[in-house]
Amino acid sequence: MSRTALRICPLCEATCGLTLTVDDGRVTGARGDRGDVFSKGFICPKGAAFGAVDSDPDRLRTPLVRVDGELREATWEEAFDAVAAGIRPVVERHGPHAVGIVLGNPNVHTMAGGLYPPVLIAGLGTRSLFTASTVDQMPKHVSSGLLFGDANAIAVPDLDRTDHLLLIGANPLESNGSLCTAPDFPGRLKALKARGGTLTVIDPRRTRTARLADRHIAIRPGTDALLLAAMAYTLFDEGLVDLGERAPHIQGLEELAAALDDFTPEAAAGACDVDAAGIRALARELAAAPTAAVYGRIGSCTVPHGTLASWLVDVLNVLTGNLDRPGGALFPQAATDRTPRPAGPGSGFALGRWHSRVRRHPEAKGELPLSALAEEIDTATDEGEPVRALIAVAANPVLSAPDGDRLDKALGSLDFMVSVDPYLNETSRHAHVVLPPPPPAQSPHHDFAFNTLAVRNQVRYTRPALPLEAGRMAETEILARLVLAVTGMHGADPAAVDATVIDRTLGRATRDPHSPVHGRDPQDLASLLTGDNGPERRLDMMLRLGPYGDGFGADPDGLTLDRLLAHPHGIDLGPLRPRLPQPLKTRSGKVELLPEPIAADLPRLRAALDERPGGLVLVGRRHLRSNNSWMHNVPALTGGSNRCTLHMHPEDAEALGVRDGEPVRIKGAGGEVTAPAEVTDGVRRGVVSLPHGWGHDRPGTRMRHAAAEPGANVNQLLDGSLLDPLSGNAVLNGVPVDVAPLTAPVTEKHEALT
Ligand SMILES: Nc1nc2c(c(=O)[nH]1)N[C@H]1C(S)=C(S)[C@@H](COP(=O)(O)OP(=O)(O)OC[C@H]3O[C@@H](n4cnc5c(=O)[nH]c(N)nc54)[C@H](O)[C@@H]3O)O[C@H]1N2
Ligand SMILES: Nc1nc2c(c(=O)[nH]1)N[C@H]1C(S)=C(S)[C@@H](COP(=O)(O)OP(=O)(O)OC[C@H]3O[C@@H](n4cnc5c(=O)[nH]c(N)nc54)[C@H](O)[C@@H]3O)O[C@H]1N2
Ligand code: SF4
Ligand SMILES: [Mo]
């Protein structure tokens, strides 16, 4: 019997609503849900392949437990017994920091990943926390923390209303957008052009997004902070600064102008390889546009000056009066955000409250750099214990972090490791226990993270499209049991984890004079919560306490889980609205334009004005039918143009004797890999591009299709030493490499390229 079910797509940040076709308990089709209040029917090839992703035969069906060195199928009870027996002795003998936690990207795409990792981290009390954020967007968190006092206050471009979009190091036509949740990003860019707006793209590659733009600037990788600083300089120099209505909420303008004094367009032009007149033109256009938004992503974050570039993106929005105004860049307000506190000074954002043991990297947002994970395991120091046990949830750092070979060895040396992962892959193959979550069709979905980054305020929730198969455990329950097992409460009822969170949250809310439930009895409130299980009751609680909530009756028209369930295609909460000064949590209560750590990092940027790297540098790229490291096992999404090839400019190829389609050796500080060359003028001269997430050729994995066309692990070219110092983010783009035909030896930086 055939039926349909609604399901929000978890495969990228666009969060499209899907209508799934279900036949005999299996998803056999997926199309865009035309009734979805946000995505309105949009779908991409990954969403269309939802059924194939969901029913991949290589997904693990039962837990695995290592016995005599080998992973064997086990019951859930045996698996959690093994977790408790593996982790507790490490905590008791060596303390909580000897247990590392690694959280990967899919945690922001699952309800379980939104609800339980914070409880896990707090419960364990470890400082050894590593996540995909430090190979991704940590620079943006740090710049937001410093500017606005809140690392999660991220202003997103008002795509649907802006007149002018300056897009830096992002390729939404392949990625569908990031830190800017916008289903049908391509359609929204086309609409911008159709209403007479302009799109400028800055990218060393002529991407599909660049081809859509009015102007494409093929910048030298790693130099965006210089370009942006020179644009800001120009605004001051030419009297174009206009803070607009938000001026009373902004401080540090004069200090900023003085700090940018050296960054003239003329000084930056050589390093960026963009002429000075062009830089001035970019600044003038930004200032002249009725509304404009500057937006930067991966290519501006995963570089040596990632935090400065991220800061400058917002600085330009501020200087042109575009921060917090319609058509500019605004702060979304999600339905599960905390009750907005009244505006006023906050406690600010602190960096470096502790440091990593080996190379003394400062913590950022409670995290240590993922690039430092291997050394934190394999290197002894006088100071503290190395990481001896690891909890990996939805993470594949062997492929996604620098120097996978070293990490691979380090993971193999751990006393104990548990992976919560649907696949036995390059990372989970080292685990002593693998806990597989059910496929997405059997899981509920709500976007805790992406609704705080969406270009329109809206809220949606989908219950599981299919019931749990026999022998499966919901990922929410897996993580709740994991919390219990590692905190010494193994065997307790997992519902206790949710009940504790609910008690604490309601207790705090009832004591908060600004809360709609101030003075009420937390027990009474808890008894009012609806929902079929702990996670649903927590969602109900967050909705009801949130900015649109019913306040447990205080606003009878407000949001509750019941009301949301009555709107299966979601509830639209309107366009983004100006919110300043309420989101600010800086000590001054204002936007602090020149925070001290930023000022202290500017000399490093000044030194970069004189850098002119010779030789080739490496950048990454994404493909619409790929997603990081875990979607290469789905035949429908591989093949065609989605291949792990090295893009190379024809002139560079000729100079090095490289021919299209033939294998080349690529050598970097961390090692050497081989990939076929794809000669294309889609990359600028001096730049080569290899996608990430490939390299599925290690033994002991169970991803048969991926292993048949493994590709090369680009991150083996990195040794993990290059970081953005403020955020600890890995430098993944603009990295020097040498390239040679497979048959020839790799020579030092070829003369023809300098
Ligand atoms: N060179 C280079 N490296 C990069 C990047 C780059 O641009 N260039 N990009 C970086 C970025 S932005 C990111 S976010 C990281 C990603 O890095 P990671 O998060 O480490 O990698 P992913 O491939 O996203 O997948 C992580 C794991 O989640 C598992 N998984 C999938 N679905 C679920 C689920 O529902 N539940 C659970 N528990 N697990 C699930 C997958 O099987 C996989 O093992 O890679 C980074 N690495
Ligand atoms: N299809 C698909 N979609 C995805 C993912 C995926 O793997 N596949 N991953 C998801 C994840 S985890 C994330 S974080 C987002 C990322 O989303 P995006 O940021 O849009 O990611 P990319 O497509 O890698 O685009 C980054 C662009 O930066 C360019 N670039 C590299 N170095 C520089 C530089 O120094 N300066 C400038 N200006 N540009 C540079 C690259 O050429 C590339 O085109 O995508 C998400 N969506
Ligand atoms: S754009 Fe992203 S969310 Fe939308 S269907 Fe494609 S993968 Fe899913
Ligand atoms: Mo990412």
Q: Give 72-118 pLDDT, tens digit per residue.
A: 999 999 999 999 999 999 999 999 999 999 999 999 999 999 999 99
Label residue 491 exposed, middle or buried (CB < 10 Å: 0-12, 13-18, 19+).
exposed
Q: Is residue 178 in contact with ligand 2, taking CB distance under 6 Å?
A: yes
Q: Is residue 135 in contact with ligand 1, taking CB distance under 6 Å?
A: yes
Closest protein CA for atom 2 of ligand 3: 12
Supply the CATH number for residue 204's domain: 3.40.228.10
- The number of helices, as runs of H, and strands, as runs of E, in the chain is 26, 28
* pLDDT over 90 percentage in the chain: 97
- Sequence-distant (6+) residues with CB within 8 A of 458 are 37, 38, 451, 570, 571, 572, 573
Atom of ligand 3 nearest to the CA of 15: 3
Residue 533, both tokens? 């299980």
Provide the terminal-to-terminal Cα distance of the chain, rounded to the nearest Å.
65
444 in any annotated domain: no
> If pLDDT is split at 50, 70 and 90, which confidence band does 744 have?
low
- Sequence-distant (6+) residues with CB within 8 A of 139 are 300, 301, 306, 307, 309, 310, 724, 726, 727, 729
Is the CB of residue 185 less than 8 Å from the CB of residue 159? yes
Judge whether residue 671 has pLDDT over 80: yes
Averaged pLDDT for residues 29-49: 98
Q: Are residues 500 and 599 in the same domain?
A: no
Parent domain of 242: 138-332+595-606
Q: Are residues 321 and 373 in the same domain?
A: no
Closest protein CA for atom 29 of ligand 1: 394
Q: Is residue 720 in contact with ligand 1, taking CB distance under 6 Å?
A: no
> If pLDDT is split at 50, 70 and 90, which confidence band does 751 have?
very low
| The pLDDT value given to residue 383 | 85
Supply the CATH number for residue 47's domain: 3.30.200.210
Residue 364 is classified by DSSP as: B
> How many domains are contained in the chain?
4
pLDDT in tens, 402-425: 999 999 999 999 999 999 999 999
| The pLDDT value given to residue 748 | 52
| The pLDDT value given to residue 747 | 55
61 in any annotated domain: no
> If pLDDT is split at 50, 70 and 90, which confidence band does 1 have?
confident
List the one residue out of 111, 74, 139, 504 whose CA is nearest residue 313: 139
Distance between CA 245 and CA 579 in Å, rounded? 12
Helix, strand, coil tally for the chain in percent (to 5) = 35, 20, 45
21 in any annotated domain: yes
63 in any annotated domain: no
Distance between CA 428 and CA 410 in Å, rounded? 13
| The pLDDT value given to residue 721 | 97
Q: Are residues 249 and 153 in the same domain?
A: yes
pLDDT in tens, 147-186: 999 999 999 999 999 999 999 999 999 999 999 999 999 9
Atom of ligand 3 nearest to the CA of 47: 5
pLDDT in tens, 642-668: 999 999 999 999 999 999 999 999 999
452 in any annotated domain: no
Judge whether residue 47 has pLDDT over 80: yes
Residue to mutate (ligand 2; options 11, 203, 209; most atoms within 8 A of CB): 203
Supply the CATH number for residue 745's domain: 2.40.40.20
Protein residues near ligand 4, an ion, with CB under 5 A: 136
Residue 651, both tokens? 């002139």
328 in any annotated domain: yes
641 in any annotated domain: yes
Contacts 24+ apart (CB under 8 A), 233-239: 233/260, 233/261, 233/263, 233/264, 233/265, 234/265, 234/279, 234/280, 234/283, 234/284, 235/283, 235/286, 235/287, 235/316, 235/319, 235/320, 236/260, 236/319, 237/264, 238/280, 238/283, 238/284
pLDDT in tens, 411-464: 999 999 999 999 999 999 999 999 999 999 999 999 999 999 999 999 999 999
540 in any annotated domain: yes
List the one residue out of 332, 301, 284, 306 whose CA is nearest residue 166: 284
Gap from CA of 693 to ligand 1 centroid (Å)? 8
Averaged pLDDT for residues 293-322: 98
Q: Are residues 387 and 506 in the same domain?
A: yes
Q: Are residues 166 and 204 in the same domain?
A: yes
Helix (H) or strand (E) holding 635: none
Distance between CA 423 and CA 434 in Å, rounded? 9
Q: Is residue 691 in contact with ligand 3, taking CB distance under 6 Å?
A: no
> If pLDDT is split at 50, 70 and 90, which confidence band does 503 have?
very high
Q: Are residues 281 and 195 in the same domain?
A: yes
Q: Are residues 299 and 210 in the same domain?
A: yes
Gap from CA of 617 to ligand 1 centroid (Å)? 24
Phi, psi of 181 (to 5 degrees): -80, 115
Q: Are residues 412 and 544 in the same domain?
A: yes
Distance between CA 391 and CA 420 in Å, rounded? 8
Gap from CA of 137 to ligand 4 centroid (Å)? 7
Residue 231, both tokens? 């644009």
Distance between CA 634 and CA 696 in Å, rounded? 13
Atom of ligand 3 nearest to the CA of 32: 5
Gap from CA of 465 to ligand 4 centroid (Å)? 26
| The pLDDT value given to residue 551 | 98
Q: Is residue 628 in contact with ligand 3, taking CB distance under 6 Å?
A: no
Q: Are residues 385 and 312 in the same domain?
A: no
Gap from CA of 14 to ligand 3 centroid (Å)? 6
Q: Are residues 677 and 739 in the same domain?
A: yes
Vertex 318: Cα angle to 312 and 321 (nearest 5)? 145
Is the CB of residue 619 less than 8 Å from the CB of residue 682? no
Q: Are residues 300 and 161 in the same domain?
A: yes
Q: Which residue has the higher pLDDT, 744 or 264?
A: 264
Q: Is residue 221 in contact with ligand 2, taking CB distance under 6 Å?
A: yes
Gap from CA of 401 to ligand 1 centroid (Å)? 10
Q: Looking at the CA of 106, which ligand is closest?
A: 1
Residue 521, both tokens? 């009895």
Judge whether residue 722 has pLDDT over 50: yes
Distance between CA 89 and CA 100 in Å, rounded? 14
Judge whether residue 684 has pLDDT over 60: yes
Averaged pLDDT for residues 728-742: 97
CA atoms in the 13 A half-sphere facing the CB of 590: 14
Q: Is residue 172 in contact with ligand 2, taking CB distance under 6 Å?
A: yes
Residue 406, both tokens? 């070293």
Q: Is residue 20 in contact with ligand 3, taking CB distance under 6 Å?
A: no
Q: Is residue 186 in contact with ligand 2, taking CB distance under 6 Å?
A: no
Residue 16, both tokens? 């499209």
pLDDT in tens, 272-287: 999 999 999 999 999 9
User: pTM for this one?
Assistant: 0.97
pLDDT in tens, 308-364: 999 999 999 999 999 999 999 999 999 999 888 889 999 999 999 999 999 999 999
Query: What is residue 293's three-state secondary structure?
Result: strand
Residue to mutate (ligand 1; options 12, 141, 421, 701; most atoms within 8 A of CB): 421
Q: Is residue 105 in contact with ligand 2, taking CB distance under 6 Å?
A: yes
* pLDDT over 70 percentage in the chain: 99
How does DSSP assign 52-80, residue by residue?
Answer: HHHT-TTS--S-EEEETTEEEE--HHHHH
| The pLDDT value given to residue 753 | 43
Q: Are residues 95 and 174 in the same domain?
A: no
Q: Looking at the CA of 32, which ligand is closest?
A: 3
Average pLDDT of the chain?
97
Q: Is residue 620 in contact with ligand 1, taking CB distance under 6 Å?
A: yes
Q: Is residue 727 in contact with ligand 2, taking CB distance under 6 Å?
A: no
- Sequence-distant (6+) residues with CB within 8 A of 442 are 464, 465, 466, 467, 468, 469, 472, 474
